[in-house]
Amino acid sequence: MSSIRFADRRNGWAFGPGLWATHDGGRTWHQVTTHGWPVEGLAAADGRVVAVFTRGRRFRVWSSPESADRWRPVPSASGAGFQPSLALAAGTGYLAVSHQPNRAGQPAPTSVLLTGPANGSASWRQLVLPCPAWTLTSLAAAAAGSLAVACAGQPGAGSQRKQAYLSPDHGRTWHRLTSPPGSGYLEQISISRAGTIVLSGSRSDVYISWDHGRTWHGAASTTPSLNPAYQAGEALTATMTTSSQGLIVAPDTPYPTPPQLNVGKIWLTHDDGHAWQLITIR
């Protein structure tokens, strides 16, 4: 397992590539069959959980009630593609996926958005994402149909070309934001119900926008305890969990570092990312 998600105090899932579930707050876990398909993403909200399964270049989305293991395929949420990014909000599911040509001479890769009811009651429809023909797309959703997407090009020399977009209407129309700083590598975008956008990744500061993507601010510049992890190139993962609360996670460092860095760490914010408090995990 490489990731874990909890919908509430009782219902959670560990996944990547297998899938395990708990419905008693983690006291017991049981394996959920995936029929040989690795789980690459999972999201839970408002009583539903959705997961994207991949096999080679194929993907498919399944859905289940949070409190039970009744997984069913979502109509029209399957196909060919790579690097899926899954999000869920207010009963609607979203999947960003890139399409790559099979043969030389075909059009450049494109990114598309699949969206529909998270409970699978209707087929998901396909929309076009505004991302250029780049290599990575990360998607995040908030309530009321607000979506944020970040796109990144080929990484190199500690930097990566990035673009970000915001949609107010479930991905039907998009507004391009100010390009995020190029330093570091993009891995995840998060958006809060209040509209705060957070970008994170490896060898990168955590970049925050409080003004709908007009300006970006580095968290390390205001949080001295974050600087060692940032400077060491650790893969920081940042997520807003409510309109004011969020967290930054740095994993155990897998290579020799000073003792103070060789532990997992979490930074918490209770003021919408303006200040972060370090909590060390031992």
pLDDT in tens, 235-264: 899 999 999 999 999 876 554 455 454 557
CB atoms within 10 A of CB 66: 19
pLDDT score recorded for residue 256: 47
Predicted confidence (pLDDT) at residue 2 exceeds the cutoff of 50: yes
pLDDT score recorded for residue 181: 93
The residues, any chain, with a CB within 8 Å of residue 249's CB and separated by 6 or more, are: 236, 237, 238, 264, 265, 266
Mean of pLDDT over the chain: 88
> Which residue, 106, 121, 115, is CA-closest to 146?
115
Predicted confidence (pLDDT) at residue 103 exceeds the cutoff of 90: no
pLDDT band at 46 (very low <50, low <70, confident <90, very high): very high
pLDDT band at 154 (very low <50, low <70, confident <90, very high): confident
Mean pLDDT across the stretch 148-169?
Answer: 90
- Range ranked top by mean pLDDT from 16-25, 75-84, 131-140: 16-25
pLDDT band at 134 (very low <50, low <70, confident <90, very high): low
What CA–CA distances, in Å, run from 149 to 84, 233, 243? 12, 24, 18
Q: Between these two residues, 131 and 256, which has the higher pLDDT value?
A: 131
Mean pLDDT across the stretch 143-164?
Answer: 88
Q: Check whether the bond before 251 is cis (ω within 30° of 0).
A: no
pLDDT band at 81 (very low <50, low <70, confident <90, very high): confident
Q: The whole model's pTM is what?
A: 0.88
Q: Between these two residues, 99 and 129, which has the higher pLDDT value?
A: 129
Q: Between these two residues, 280 and 94, which has the higher pLDDT value?
A: 94
Q: Which of 60-64, 100-104, 134-138, 174-178 has the lowest mean pLDDT?
A: 100-104
pLDDT score recorded for residue 240: 94
Q: What are phi and psi of 30, to 5 degrees?
A: -140, 150
Mean pLDDT across the stretch 105-132?
Answer: 84
d(CA 58, CA 197): 30
Q: Between these two residues, 262 and 22, which has the higher pLDDT value?
A: 22
Predicted confidence (pLDDT) at residue 282 exceeds the cutoff of 80: no
pLDDT score recorded for residue 105: 52
The residues, any chain, with a CB within 8 Å of residue 91's CB and separated by 6 or more, are: 45, 46, 48, 117, 118, 119
